[in-house]
Structure 1
Amino acid sequence: MENKIQHILQLLNIKEINKGSSTGSHWFYGENLTSIFSPVDGEEIAKVSFASKEVYDKTVEQAEKAFVIWRNWPAPKRGEIVRQIGEALRAHKSALGTLVSYEMGKSLQEGLGEVQEMIDICDFAVGLSRQLYGLTMHSERPQHRMYEQWHPLGAVGIISAFNFPVAVWTWNAVLAWVCGNVCIWKPSEKTPLTAIACQQIISKVFEENKVPEGVSCLLCGDSILGEKLARDSKIALLSATGSTRMGKAVAQAVAARLGKYLLELGGNNAIIISAEADLDMSLIGAVFGAVGTAGQRCTSTRRLIIHESVYHTFKEKLVKAYGQLKIGNPLDEQNHVGPLIDKQAVALYLAAIEKCKAQGGNFIVEGGVLSGEVYTSGCYVKPCIAEVEPHFDIVKTETFAPILYIMKYKSLDEAIAIQNDVPQGLSSAIMTNNLREAELFLSVNGSDCGIANVNIGTSGAEIGGAFGGEKETGGGRESGSDAWRAYMRRQTNTINYSTQLPLAQGIKFDI
């Protein structure tokens, strides 16, 4: 494995991971080296140094200088840079996807899929660079024209999470870039090597196009660095992905300086399995949603709300499907489930199981930590299923692990009430062939989540739609649709081309 990863690092041009700064991208390193371990085999991948206060200050200063230049590049020209980034990602898809899989622990197919998501958002952003539209309004005053336009904000801070170590950064960064902003990225301290790889990939593109130094900045560090970004008035917008606890701290710090923030936080996602559902199709959506990325997606399926008439039949299908899951090295494409990110995540998984049992949960598929030659990292766990009641506290808590809670319902109104009765509001789904049920689920009386699906699971979003959720999920929107507006400031303009100065609302002021 070590030889393979070293080969991957060479392909990604990662030679000195603790040095380096190329035109357009910018990163400094301090002296404090932190070891990065893979959850796949427990081996150390590299040592990465975390940024000091001095390094942080220099980086923000460099970003500010770059913004003054970059904001004056025409948006389509900025879009051309992003197009080339997309091409560079295509060329490095296999190597970067493999590194994502090894550093984070998700399956190779999911690692490659994450890089494809980066490519897709680049394609989206290229088109967007020619569509930063404003409105024209009719003025109540004669010979006046009113319109609105959008300007870049400045420095955009991006705090990304370990579970999507590169894709969510791209969701933010490429939109921010075509809008004329510069970006400062703090990746998760658990997955910094993939971030360094991304900087290496885009550096060549930036250098060839003479992009100003500091348009893309990388700062590796822990929560202390995140706090600096949150409290820094020079950061015009802070986009943070992570836990609800982290998001609340970010929101308070940014709001204290009246700054802007975009939050993508926890999810506690449910699928309603109707009496009129295609149970075989529902099984695929439920199992992938629950065990994909070892349950470490914010859109992972954590609850199944099953109609009482099909409950036992579907439960039997679930137990049989879980019995066929293959758990092991995620770089082996025969395996369905890889490891959790680290032993701390394993401890939280075990604690959630114990809490569920203490509250009355009945595990029909038992959990546990796997051991043996294949599982030397100590991060591999068994996906498990518990029969519960909807009101259990543990059911309303997000645990980033492959624990699935199943429960019964009688009426659709009851199912929707159960679905909505959690603090989080990210993704939701209903499996049904009944048009009325589907439409009710999507109506104002249905799901209260930012994402509501029919006959697909909760996990896996396309970049064309705005991604995000409500309640404790934070209310932010990233990726497609009009999410670009979060990275810009709106300005309303009025032009008087008459020889008079009429006032609005018919006010007279003669002197």
Structure 2
Amino acid sequence: MNKDFLHTLGLQDDNDGSSTGQTGMHNPDAHLVSRSPVDGSEIGRVSVTTPEQYEQIIAKAQEAFQYWRTVPAPQRGEIVRQYGDALRANKDALGRLVSYEMGKSLQEGWGEVQEMIDICDFAVGLSRQLYGLTMHSERPLHRMYEQYHPLGIVGIISAFNFPVAVWSWNAMIAIVCGDVTVWKPSEKTPLCGVACQNIWAKVAKDNDLPEGISSLINGDYTVGEMMTKDERVPLISATGSTRMGKIVAQTVAARLGKTLLELGGNNAIIITPSADMDLVLTGALFGAVGTCGQRCTSTRRLIVHESRYDEVRDKLAGAYDQLRIGDPLDQNNHVGPLIDTDAVDTYLKAIEGIKNEGGNLIVAGGRIDDLGSDCYVKPCIAEVEPDSEMARKETFAPILYMMKYSDLQEAIDIQNSVPQGLSSAIMTTNMRESERFLSAAGSDCGIANVNIGTSGAEIGGAFGGEKETGGGRESGSDSWKAYMRRQTNTINYSTELPLAQGITFDLQPI
């Protein structure tokens, strides 16, 4: 395989196959080994951040914040604009690295980098729109308003499935808000983090910026714990499993810090009698098998009206027969590997759990052993009862559960019955059904779509979910407010000092 993209991104291979980059600090005694799920080969190694090095990084970040918060927001936006242009120049190489290190298709790898470019564009515009509010005071000759100030250091903990985009959702918004960032990428995709930092480092150098505006730390969960326990980091934005999120939430709450959590999803599409079958097949297929089922918005459940059930089942099974599984950098393939063999084991255990519950495998899954690594599996479809215990869990793999319903309220209740609340969709051409689904008595998820799938959110809207998904919101809309502190200001321009609520507090003249 041609790996020129590693050189393009400043990831230089040496004789032992290791790669180094702008990680901020280097520990010669411990490394993360990045191994591609595509072919099982070692891509490179990244040094693990020690506690001593972490302290140096935080000190540099604090120093950079003292400067960065005083830079006018539109000037901060100009730096983000330059970073977006640098991403455009490196879109092909970075997309290939995402595909090779994580395993998603090359189209999805390029798409993820495009998300980074899009959020840069959004952040540039936002840099001139960090609006506050004005309101009327009850006291004469007084003015009241609200404004937003930067928080400080924003700690970002990202997951392997979107190894670059989710960081950018947080970092680009935080940076235009006047914050500085410290990023811990997933230990399963560390080179993607190094590559993004290399690109940032050149933009920062070209503009004579302090090193600490964007910093990188690497390691396992213990490195992330350094940030979650650190009172100098007022906001932790963490993406990952619900289990991880609960630990982060408790740790940060214990020091009264702020969290922005993007956790598990168990996303469903409701298919009504009036659904357009072409939309159903496209939405369900990509939602279930895109990124090999490793998106937090992946479609896990199809809740199908009994009158359309057999048709959906048969057509979807036929579509699965056409899927091409293999090297994700080969654009003829639809589905790449799972991230590692642990994920494969989890997938296989889930299939056994389906069988033990009495579920019926419409499309049998299983491991694929002849594609160059041990991480390839077959996407699976299983018929289960709506209250199936397996269908209530999030298995980060291409397993799709099908179940029947008889009326719309029953379908909505089934959808909402799981602990997670990220993304949801309904396929219908009936306006009353779509509006009911979007009403307060409808979907309880943070994302609710009509006639599109559960996967593939745009950056213009706030992204996030409810219940065990964590309640956070990232990316577009007014998500920027999570990265700032709100301040209410009252100005008295009179010669008297009246108290609010008409309170009198008279003193004798002194």
Q: TM-score range by the shorter chain?
A: over 0.9
Q: Secondary structure at the match of 2:45?
A: strand
Shift of 1:376: 2.3
Q: For 1:339-350, what aligned pairs fall within 5 Å after superposition?
A: 339-350=337-348
Measured in 1, the distance between the counterparts of 2:360 and 2:463 equals: 34
1:382-401 equivalence runs, <5 A: 382-401=378-397
SS in 2 for 1:214: helix
The residue that corresponds to 2:205 in the other structure is: 207
- Out of 330, 333, 352, the residue aligned to residue 332 of structure 1 is 330
Aligned to 1:196: 194
- Post-superposition Cα deviations, 1:76-133, rounded to whole Å, max 9, x if no partner, equal 0000000000000000000000000000000000000000000000000000000000
Select 2:27's aligned residue among 26, 30, 37.
Answer: 30
Displacement of 1:297 after TM fit?
Answer: 0.1
Amino acid at match of 1:11: T
Q: Matches of 2:331 and 2:486 in 1, distance apart?
A: 47
Q: Could you tell me which amino acid in structure 1 is paired with residue 360 of structure 2?
A: N
The 3-state SS of whatever aligns with 2:39 is coil
Moved over 6 A (4+): none
Which residue of structure 2 lines up, in the alignment, with residue 453 of structure 1? 449
C-alpha separation in 2, matches of 1:20 and 1:167: 19
1:333-412 matches, cutoff 5 A = 333-372=331-370, 375-412=371-408
Instruction: Return the offset for 1:15.
Output: 3.1
The correspondence for 2:180, drawn from 179, 182, 191, is: 182
SS at match of 1:338: coil
* Matching of residues 408-487 of structure 1 within 5 Å: 408-487=404-483
Match of 1:308, as an amino acid? E
Structure 1 match to 2:484: 488
Task: Using structure 2 for the length normalisation, give the TM-score.
Answer: 0.97
- The aligned residue for residue 510 of structure 1 is 506
Q: Counterparts of 1:33 and 1:113 in 2: how far apart (Å)? A: 29
8 Å CA contact retained: 1:19, 1:29: no
Query: Residues 454-502 of structure 1, C-alpha deviation per residue, up to 9 Å, x if partnerless?
Result: 0000000000000000000000000000000000000000000000000
Structure 2: 5+ residue stretches without partners: none
In 2, are the aligned partners of 1:18 and 1:29 still within 8 Å (CA)?
Answer: no
1:329-350 Cα shifts (integer Å, max 9, x gaps):
0000010100000000000000
In 2, the alpha carbon distance for the partners of 1:18 and 1:154 equals: 32
Match of 1:14 among 11, 14, 23: 11
Residue 46 of structure 2: aligned partner: 48
TM-aligned CA deviation for residue 13 of structure 1: 2.3
Are the aligned partners of 2:20 and 2:45 in contact in 1 as well (CA < 8 Å)? no
Amino acid at match of 1:417: D
The answer to whether the 8 A contact 2:141-2:494 is kept is: yes
Offset at 1:213?
Answer: 1.6
How far apart are 1:18 and its partner, in Å? 6.5
1:167-211 deviation per Cα after TM superposition (whole angstroms, max 9, x unaligned): 000000000000000000000000010110011111111111111
Deviation at 1:19, TM superposition (A): 5.7
What is the distance in 2 between the residues matched to 1:33 and 1:226? 16
Structure 1 length-normalised TM? 0.97
Number of residue pairs matched by the alignment: 502
Q: Structure 2 CA distance, aligned partners of 1:468 and 1:213?
A: 31
**Letter of the structure 1 residue corresponding to residue 205 of structure 2:** E
For 1:290-329, list aligned pairs within 5 A: 290-329=288-327
Asked whether the 8 Å contact 2:11–2:20 carries over to 1, the reply is no
Residue 61 of structure 1 and its aligned partner are, at CA, apart by 0.8
CA contact (8 A) 1:156 1:176 kept: yes
Which residue of 2 is the match for residue 270 of structure 1?
A: 268
- Structure 1 stretches lacking a partner, 5+ long: none
Per the TM alignment, residue 166 of structure 1 is displaced from its structure 2 partner at its CA by: 0.2
Q: CA 1:326–1:469 in structure 2 vs 1: closer, same or farther (change >3 Å)?
A: same
